[in-house]
Structure 1
Amino acid sequence: MNIREQYELLEEKILSPLATKSKDTMGRLKPEEKCSIRTDFQRDRDRIIHSKAFRRLKHKTQVFIAPEGDHYRTRLTHTLEVSQIARTISRALRLNEDLTEAIALGHDLGHTPFGHTGEKVLDKISKNGFKHYEQSLRVVDFLERGTGLNLTYEVRNGILCHSGDLIADTNEGKVVKLADKIAYINHDIDDAIRAGILSFDDLPKECIKVLGKGHSDRINTMITSVINYALKFGEISLTGEIGQATWELREFMFKNVYIGSKAKTEEEKAVKMLETLYYYYINNIHKLPNEFKNKIDVWGEERVVCDFIAGMTDRYAINEFVNIYVPMPWGRIF
């Protein structure tokens, strides 16, 4: 019995009946030989961490566009916070922590430059539409490495279902969906206060009374509520008084930070920039990198241009725009 098989046997002994066991995976899109050391979900996690798409998250917007302050969250730090919260819940419930972590680390791989602003732009101007959670699945299925990462069904399903109305097939996927919300509600409050957009006194007092005054207090309250509900009812949910306070706080953030606040003062510029880049490449398809041009016959021009732009970091998009449309001083040309 090799190390992987020993660990799979250990999972049978220690994981909850609510957990997804590694040996019970529904498999990969393309069959491949199993690792002698790592379970399938461990391999998925490692493939995501070592991907270029994962590394690019460090230069993609969370809320504040191309932030220069060292302490503002980016899409990468958001991802790590989601992973930490999701792992805490999964460990307490004896779910499969490797599966949870793989889903959490991969959930935002398809996010555009400038966060949800970029997502809205591509969704509006592309006839195919655009959703970041669908693009995240597209990254791991097709785009990364040029052929995809060939992840297991459970990880792919969790990535696809982490946002919107879709519900994951696994409890680990459901945990990540809640952890995503717990993470961004709280860390975006922290960033908004740091940026001077909010003060602590602006936060809804009834919500704070229920959830706690401090950043870690609120996260702990939400996590504990999810764990206690799951232990009692066998379902992954954030309900009751704490759930209501959480969703009210989330609504407050949409009204006061995510829409129309000082955090969005540069949004119109980002919209114009991405629209301009999109139509530039549609009209100059030969300017695309070869790895994208080679896929036009398979996916079509619009899909390939969306893939290229969605993969850009904030600073890469800005540099592309400058290189294409901003004239360089004569002395810099030669």
Structure 2
Amino acid sequence: MTIREQTQALERETLSRYATLSENSRGRRRPEPEDPLRPCFQRDRDRILHCKSFRRLKQKTQVFLSPEGDHYRTRLTHTLEVSQIARTIARALRLNEDLTEAVALGHDLGHTPFGHAGERALNRLCPGGFTHYRQSLRVVDFLEKDGEGLNLSWEVRNGIVTHTAGAWARTPEGCVVRRADHIAFLNHDIEDAVSAGVLNPESLPREATAVLGTTKSQRITTMITDLIAHSGNGQISFSPEIEAAYAVLKDFMYATVYVDKEAKREEKKVDKLVAELYERLCEQPDLMPNFYMQIAYNEGVDRAVTDYISGMSDEFATRLFEQWFVPQKWSVL
């Protein structure tokens, strides 16, 4: 037996009957020989971890645009926190941790610069709209490796595209990542908002904190513990009490922090920046690298420009805007 086959045998012996076994994967879009060491989901995890889009997450906004300080979350640290929470849940439920981790690490690869402000800006500009979860699937299917894509397994791709809204994943591991994403972003956004001085922790709704806890650690522990206790038969669910408390806390954040004038005053600038880049690139697509020129030829200029902008980091998009629209210093020799 190869090491991969030994690992697959171990999955059969130790994982829940509801877990997704790597040997039962629906496969890849392009068939490949099996790896002698790694089952397919572990291989997918490695491909995501080493791809360029994953590295760019370190300079993409999570919630607060360009905050002063080293401890605010970026899209990369958020992704790692989702992965940790998801793996904790998957291990407790005896689900496939490799599949869970692969989905978690890949779920935000298609996110725009400047967080959801950038996503909203592109959604207004792009014919047919734009969502980061569909873009994440496009990244792994096509944009990575200069048009080859990462050729991930069906289960990982399904978990990525269903992690935010709409239909739930077809695997319990994909559903775990969706729940973990909710647990992570809400509680970590609260912590960042407190650090930024735009939220007093005492103002959190009592009906939520009485159930979930008054600290980040308490709330995350409560939600993970409850999810594990009330999930079963392949279904990943909170208890009604925790689900209701989570909804109260989420509504509070959307009514206060996520629309805070002080914290979000820069977002109007994001609309302007993204719109100007979009218009300029549509007018002069030859300003894009050759790969995106090929997309423009095959799928249209709007599609190519959307792909190009959505893949930018905050820093790169800002630098490009300054280069094209801000007067530069010059000297006479």
Whole-Å Cα distance in 2 between the matches of residues 311 and 78 of structure 1?
Answer: 17
Residue 193 (structure 2) aligns with: 192
1:196-275 alignment runs, 5 A limit: 196-231=197-232, 234-275=234-275
Q: What TM-score do you get using the length of structure 2 for normalisation?
A: 0.98
Contact 2:15 2:94 in 1 (8 A): yes
Instruction: State the 4+ residue runs in structure 1 displaced beyond 3 angstroms.
Output: none
Instruction: Give the letter aligned to residue 183 of structure 2.
Output: I
Whole-Å Cα distance in 2 between the matches of residues 139 and 97 of structure 1?
Answer: 23
Whole-Å Cα distance in 2 between the matches of residues 261 and 237 of structure 1?
Answer: 35
Whole-Å Cα distance in 2 between the matches of residues 202 and 160 of structure 1?
Answer: 35
Please report how far the alpha carbon of residue 205 of structure 1 lies from its aligned counterpart in structure 2 after TM superposition. Answer: 1.2
Q: What TM-score do you get using the length of structure 1 for normalisation?
A: 0.97
Whole-Å Cα distance in 1 between the matches of residues 247 and 50 of structure 2?
Answer: 34
Residue 149 (structure 1) aligns with: 150
Question: Between the two proteins, what is the percent identity of the paired residues?
Answer: 54
In the TM superposition, what whole-angstrom CA distance separates every residue of 1:281-309 from its partner, at most 9, and x where no partner exists? 00011111111112222221100000000
Whole-Å Cα distance in 1 between the matches of residues 128 and 235 of structure 2?
Answer: 35
Please report how far the alpha carbon of residue 234 of structure 1 lies from its aligned counterpart in structure 2 after TM superposition. Answer: 4.4
Please report how far the alpha carbon of residue 251 of structure 1 lies from its aligned counterpart in structure 2 after TM superposition. Answer: 0.9
Residue 138 (structure 1) aligns with: 138
Residue 166 (structure 1) aligns with: 167
Judged with a 3 Å threshold, the aligned counterparts in structure 2 of structure 1 residues 172 and 234 are, in CA distance, closer, same or farther, namely: closer
Whole-Å Cα distance in 1 between the matches of residues 24 and 37 of structure 2?
Answer: 17
Residue 80 (structure 1) aligns with: 80
Whole-Å Cα distance in 2 between the matches of residues 13 and 317 of structure 1?
Answer: 49
1:302-321 alignment runs, 5 A limit: 302-321=302-321
Whole-Å Cα distance in 2 between the matches of residues 124 and 91 of structure 1?
Answer: 40
Contact 1:61 1:67 in 2 (8 A): no
Whole-Å Cα distance in 1 between the matches of residues 228 and 46 of structure 2?
Answer: 27
Deviates more, 1:246-255 or 1:61-70: 61-70
Please report how far the alpha carbon of residue 120 of structure 1 lies from its aligned counterpart in structure 2 after TM superposition. Answer: 0.8
Contact 2:169 2:175 in 1 (8 A): yes
Contact 2:198 2:260 in 1 (8 A): no
Instruction: Give the letter aligned to residue 35 of structure 2.
Output: C
In the TM superposition, what whole-angstrom CA distance separates every residue of 1:87-136 from its partner, at most 9, and x where no partner exists? 00000000000000000000000000011111111111111310100000
Contact 1:16 1:95 in 2 (8 A): yes
In the TM superposition, what whole-angstrom CA distance separates every residue of 1:16-47 from its partner, at most 9, and x where no partner exists? 01100000000001001110000100000000
Contact 2:121 2:270 in 1 (8 A): no
Matched, 1:36 2:48: no
Unaligned 5+ residue runs, structure 2?
none
Contact 1:60 1:66 in 2 (8 A): no
Unaligned 5+ residue runs, structure 1?
none
Instruction: Give the letter aligned to residue 201 of structure 2.
Output: F
In the TM superposition, what whole-angstrom CA distance separates every residue of 1:184-204 from its partner, at most 9, and x where no partner exists? 000000000000000111111
Secondary structure in 1 matching 2:18: coil
Instruction: Give the letter aligned to residue 302 of structure 1.
Output: D
Contact 1:119 1:130 in 2 (8 A): yes
Residue 181 (structure 2) aligns with: 180
Whole-Å Cα distance in 1 between the matches of residues 315 and 6 of structure 2?
Answer: 46
Contact 2:231 2:238 in 1 (8 A): no
Deviates more, 1:38-47 or 1:66-75: 66-75
Residue 299 (structure 1) aligns with: 299
Whole-Å Cα distance in 2 between the matches of residues 195 and 314 of structure 1?
Answer: 19
Contact 1:158 1:168 in 2 (8 A): yes
- Root-mean-square deviation over aligned CA pairs: 1.2
Contact 2:48 2:106 in 1 (8 A): yes
Secondary structure in 1 matching 2:281: helix
Whole-Å Cα distance in 1 between the matches of residues 18 and 280 of structure 2?
Answer: 50
